[in-house]
Structure 1
Amino acid sequence: MAATPAHPASDNAPHVPATPLHDLMYGHIYASALRAVVLHGIADHLADGPLSAGELAARSGTQAGPLHRVLRLLAMRGLFRTDPDGAFGLTEGSEALRTGVPGSRRDAVLLFTDAMYGRSAAGLEDTLRTGEPGFEAAYGTPFFEHLAGTPDAGRLFDTAMSSLTGGVNEQIAGSYVFPDGGTVVDVAGGRGGLLRAVLSRSPGLTGVLFDRPGTVTDHLLDTAELAGRWRTEGGDLFTAVPEGGDLYLLKNILHDWPDEDCLRILATVRRAMTPGTRLLVIDAVLPADGSPHPAVPLDIVMLMVLRGRERTAAEFEELLTRSGFMVRRVLPTPSLTSVVEAEAV
């Protein structure tokens, strides 16, 4: 009879690490697991310290076994940590999944793991053949028209964009020397996060937040510090934008659109400006040599959902030159984006 081993069998031998192909193959599984824990508020339940899967399950209305397995998967990517006693705790990454904390990415996770993006991604096979966005094939309408006609989707998009750009707005505002006086017009500026950061840094400036009427209604500018220094205006950036500004901003707008629509937007902005007025195009600027850049995945989102693209500095310069602008310089920021400074000629 074989001797009984002194200790239970275990498999602690090193294994072949997952390859990039393996990680890509399972990408949708990680995204689905991430969405599930956000929807069940797992990070919020861990705010006061680590909990076992059983304790988490009781608090979140989930099943301990499946929850343990999902958290174990996400812990492999550093999104949660596992204590020696088996309890799960927060890491820097999962802190950003909490509701209402500075730098929260909860709404952004819910947006980019939403069925809108999943169905669009599933259409990439056809997009490669037709060049048409998977979103339009799935929903039968352009993305922004869908948002305008679907209030819940529109609100999710707006809150996700605000969550993604909170700290980024401060980085952008600190990377460019804004004038001490005058009026800055934030064109399609969403809820006004960038404009708020700019006005906070430059007390002599006043500002105009321009976007869809439903978006500017939910603005972020009503603070004591900025009292009397801003106004909002609703409208269509393809038709007209507020005139008389001393500086115009277009942040993360041109990458949403193909070249012909970018030219229409820039022509509208140029009509509102006098010669010598500055325009800041704030977008990712891809390297001309094709080297890696963190905005390359975002370029595929544009391909799936919209008809836009991320561009190189030369591509931005061509659009701006054709629209009556002269590019003065391109300034990097600590964020994903750069500042392309142009002047109306």
Structure 2
Amino acid sequence: MLGPMQTIDPQDELRVYDAYVAGRLSAGLAAGVRTGLFDVLDSDGPLSCAALAEASGLHERGVRAWLAAMQAGQLVQEVGSGDFALTPAAARDCVRNKPGSLAGLIDMEIENFLSPALVIEGLRGGGPCVYGDGDPWAEHAADPAKARAFSDAMHAIACSPALALAEKAPLENARRLLDAGGGSGTISVALARAFPQLHCTVLEIPAVLPHIEERAHEEGLEQQISALQGDLFAQAWPTGFDAVLLSQIMHDWSDDEGARLLRRAYNALNPGGTVLIHEKLIEPDGGPLANALVNLDMLVWTEGRQWSATDLEQLMQQAGFEGVQAQKTYGYWSLVSATRPG
């Protein structure tokens, strides 16, 4: 039944419909990464639809549909007559084994891509459900393959933000930095390059320690970056640091656990030391959309949420920090810093 005629702003109706179909772009993006379509276009393109299908071992009809969607999504462009190539953005972020590519992040989530069913499970249970009833961090600690995939994915998403953070971080006088939960050390690598006097200690679970050592060796920074086995909550943190970094850590935990992390950071610092929180923040208007949507990821992966600068400032002050400052660094990322008095 059509129902009574109503005066509707077409843009309002399109807003809902566009939100509904947006998942198709994510699905096509992930499928292109997993099947190697982006890789083939990068190495062999421009290619016709038929040539791309043959080179990828895929069905031509399927590839034609994929090309149409990716072209509209500005990830693929038509060049010449009927040949296709990657756009600069896709060539940078959708191709495997390129520095800073997001392909590893996208590929890791395919088995647990944020689906309506997963969100509904999170809505009903209120807690992490991406691994069923298993705790994600315990799963990573027990399964080196999962730990490696997650570590590589976090490296992918952090590469460009890490370089920007190194330009903004107030570390000119710092000698020792604790990178708490620092993954494979992506941020520490950028900071060590920018500040030759700085030694970074990356605190991580045992399954991740080899990744830190590998990355430090690859970058020639073994003298500036060291791996330290530890747990964010189960064991005491080492002390005597001039700076503590929490990059993409606060959003993984509940408010109470976030407060515990900040108290631990405070105790790890020398008087006058600096805590650095590197996150994708929520603005006063509730946006940007990309950051707000990550709340759904946090629902199914963690106990946390995306923070605003105001909320972080309050929590940092409660932990004893002073002089809280927030600044944008890169894209959706921001740095919130504060000082331990003394």
TM-score, structure 2 normalization: 0.87
SS class of match (1:276): strand
Alignment of 1:163-182 (within 5 A): 163-182=156-175
Q: Distance in 2 between the 1:126 and 1:42 partners?
A: 32
CA displacement 1:138-187 (0-9 Å, x = unmatched): 61112222233343332221111101111110001001232245111111
Larger proportion of helix = 2
Q: Give per-residue Cα distances to partners, 1:194-221, cap 9 Å, x unaligned.
A: 1111111111222211111221211221
Name the count of aligned residue pairs. 326
Partner of 1:99: 96
Are the equivalent residues in 1 in contact too, given 2:245–2:277 (CA < 8 A)? Answer: yes
- Gapped runs of 5+ residues in structure 1? 1-15
Give the residue type in structure 2 aligned to 1:247: A
Identity of aligned pairs, percent?
25
Rg comparison, structure with higher value: 1
Paired position in structure 2 for 1:122: 117
**Distance in 2 separating the partners of 1:125 and 1:230:** 42
1:198 and 1:254 mapped to 2: Cα distance?
Answer: 20
- 1:249–1:281 CA contact under 8 A, matched in 2: yes
State the match for 2:6 in structure 1: none
Q: Distance in 2 between matches of 1:229 and 1:123?
A: 41
Instruction: Classify 1:230/1:248 alpha carbon distance in 2 versus 1 (closer, same or farther; 3 Å).
Output: same
Does the 8 Å contact 1:329/1:342 carry over to 2? yes
- Identify which range, 125-134 or 196-205, moves more after superposition: 125-134
> Which structure 2 residues correspond to residues 1-345 of structure 1 after superposition, within 5 A?
19-47=14-42, 48-95=44-91, 96-112=93-109, 114-118=110-114, 121-135=116-130, 139-219=132-212, 220-223=215-218, 225-238=220-233, 239-292=235-288, 294-345=290-341
Per-residue CA deviation, residues 312-335 of structure 1 (Å, 9 max, x unaligned), is 222112222222322432222123
Q: 1:177 to 1:161 in 2, by over 3 A?
A: same
Corresponding residue SS for 1:26: helix
TM-score computed with the length of structure 1 as normaliser: 0.86
Q: CA deviation at 1:60?
A: 1.3
Look up the equivalent residue of 1:188 and give its one-letter code.
G
- Is the CA contact 2:144–2:207 (under 8 Å) kept in the aligned structure 1? no
Q: Deviations over 1:219-266 (max 9, x none)?
A: 221256534223210110112222211111111100111111112222
Whether the 8 Å contact between 1:117 and 1:305 is mirrored in structure 2 is no
| Matched letter for residue 333 of structure 1 | T
Offset from partner CA, 1:8-51 (integer Å, 9 cap, x none): xxxxxxxx999232222223332222222211211221224211
Q: Is the 8 A contact 1:320 1:327 kept in 2?
A: no
Deviations 1:277-314 (A, max 9, x none): 21111112322343535411212211232111111222
Please tell me whether the aligned partners of residues 171 and 335 of structure 1 are also in contact (alpha carbons under 8 angstroms): no
Could you tell me whether the CA contact under 8 Å between 1:180 and 1:203 is conserved in 2?
no
Determine the C-alpha separation between the residues in 1 that align with 2:69 and 2:199.
Answer: 49
